[in-house]
Amino acid sequence: MKGIVLAGGSGSRLHPVTFAVSKQLVPVYNKPMIYYSLSVLMLAGITDILIITTPGDKPAFQRLLGDGSWLGIRLEYAEQPEPNGLAEAFIIGEQHVGQDSVALILGDNIFHGPGFSRLLQSKTDDLKGCLLFAYPVGDPNRYGIGEFDDDGNLLSIEEKPEHPRSNRAITGLYFYDNDVVGIAKGLEPSPRGELEITDVNQAYLDRGRAKVVDLGRGFAWLDTGTHQSLLDAGQYVQMLEERQGVRIGCLEEVAFRMGFIDSDQCYRLGERVAKSGYGKYVMEIARAKADLTTA
């Protein structure tokens, strides 16, 4: 399976913060926003990932993340000159996807929950159709809302419905089989001139090949698209990390625990930023594993 992180757009809801920097490079507590979305794809076992961003922002992402080899993964970059819709990611990334299935995550979404890596890998091991992830919200008229049965079969999907059929928002994490490229290429722009991801999902629904995973109790889904939600996300991460002593979206730790790098490589990555608490944490993770190995 290939991965795509969509990190484009102008971030207009975060102006003036995003006048000079991509929204996905803005910090959420102690790490760049894109760390969180990239870590989700890595937790799913995906090691070949395309980052789609604007022409002006691409050099900054390349400086931050490079080719991914330091994490034991492969990163490539592509440009989306205009915000023409989420579904355009599959057209831009057609060559990257090739004949594989693909996971798309929005670069401003944060997910956290127990056993998330196992959940992602188990649900996508033999993907046929599309797999969406839903989360309960208190204001469903602000989201794309999915209705599904007890077996996770998608029954309907509506964008910002006036009378929602459920309170389950479709999050910014999507898994598709290879048919998604052809579906995206066959879409017509919506009235707002964009290729809509909802239309992609509707195409799978019409074929009876759309499933939903309900992320309920114990999971957190955070959208960081506004000043308030960005602040809320930072406070959530800070509270969890300080109280539990863990890190959310720590790429070095994810790469290590997924077996993409070994303890020596992990320790050296921590040494690069050893003056920060983040770097000390990465070094401690690697050192603890080394101590267990030699005990």
What's the rounded Cα separation, in Å, for the pair 153 and 277?
44
pLDDT at 11: 83
pLDDT at 124: 79
pLDDT at 211: 96
Mean per-residue pLDDT pooled into runs of 10, the chain (295 residues): 94 89 95 98 98 97 98 98 95 98 97 94 87 95 93 93 93 97 97 94 96 92 91 95 93 97 97 95 89 50
Residue with tokens 């109790």: 217
Burial 1-33 (b: 16+ CB within 10 A, else e): bbbbbbbbbebeebeeebeeebbbbbebbbbbb
pLDDT at 295: 40
What's the rounded Cα separation, in Å, for the pair 69 and 27?
23
pLDDT at 125: 78
Look up the pTM and report it.
0.95
- CB proximity list for 295: less than 8 A, separation 6 or greater: none
